[in-house]
Chains A and B, each alone.
Chain A
């Protein structure tokens, strides 16, 4: 689907809420850094990050910072 359709229709699958995303973000990012299957360990996170631009940005920021620090 186009970017516009993605923004309008979202991921269309079960996802965590913004509050759950923040709660689990540090664990999810560390699993990613370790090369573990973060999506299997924390279901619904990837879908939320695809559907919520702000949480997506926050995820990218934390991943970039802990990967580089």
Chain B
């Protein structure tokens, strides 16, 4: 699944070096962490606003996201390679935390029911290009035949029902990466089947 990636060690920019130094030095650590937290909080508020989280809930979630991101950043400080600015590296943690919290909040009262009939409905679709309809019918036929129950449930939830992968991971008590691997394997299995039938190159 994974592509092979050769990553040269980059030169860490001065601004990023200053962040690392200040976050590691016992004398400056507290002040630097407070400055970083303020930046993370701004980013979290921005992201939650962009995702349509109501203002009444936004501040609490933003603080949670900034707090969790700061803990993760400080724990992973030694893994910063300098491939980007330190602030860009740090923002990805808080934007991820904010996104996960927003997605989970949006789905917290929703049941995730795996509807196997969805594949039959897809096979029976009319309209659109003939090639697409043939592919969808072949996929609907292959899903129960070629996939394990777990692969079928994960594919149905993620690809048909639009359940966010981190929401499904939380419900199934697994990880986002493990679920995506299952999705990837199911997709590969279906592609092989469609190729056998001459429907994919």
Q: Residues of A at under 8 Å CB distance from B? A: 1-2, 4-5, 7-10, 12, 14-20, 22, 24-27, 29-30, 42-44, 47, 51-54, 57-58, 61-62, 64-66, 69
Contact = CB atoms under 8 A, between A and B. Distances in A.
Given A14-B1, A18-B176, A24-B7, 15 more contacts: A7-B160, A8-B139, A26-B88, A26-B89, A26-B91, A27-B83, A30-B85, A51-B183, A51-B187, A53-B158, A53-B165, A54-B176, A58-B95, A62-B92, A65-B43
Interface of B: 1-5, 7, 43, 46-47, 50, 83-85, 87-89, 91-92, 95-96, 98-99, 103, 122, 128-129, 132, 135-136, 139, 155, 158-160, 162, 164-166, 176-177, 180-181, 183-184, 187, 190-191, 194
A37 to B, nearest CB: 15
A23 B183 CA distance: 20
Contacts, number: 123
Q: Is the interface of A mostly helix, strand, loop or mixed?
A: helix
B3 A43 contact: yes
A65 B5 contact: no
Contact of A8 (B47, B92, B99, B155): B155
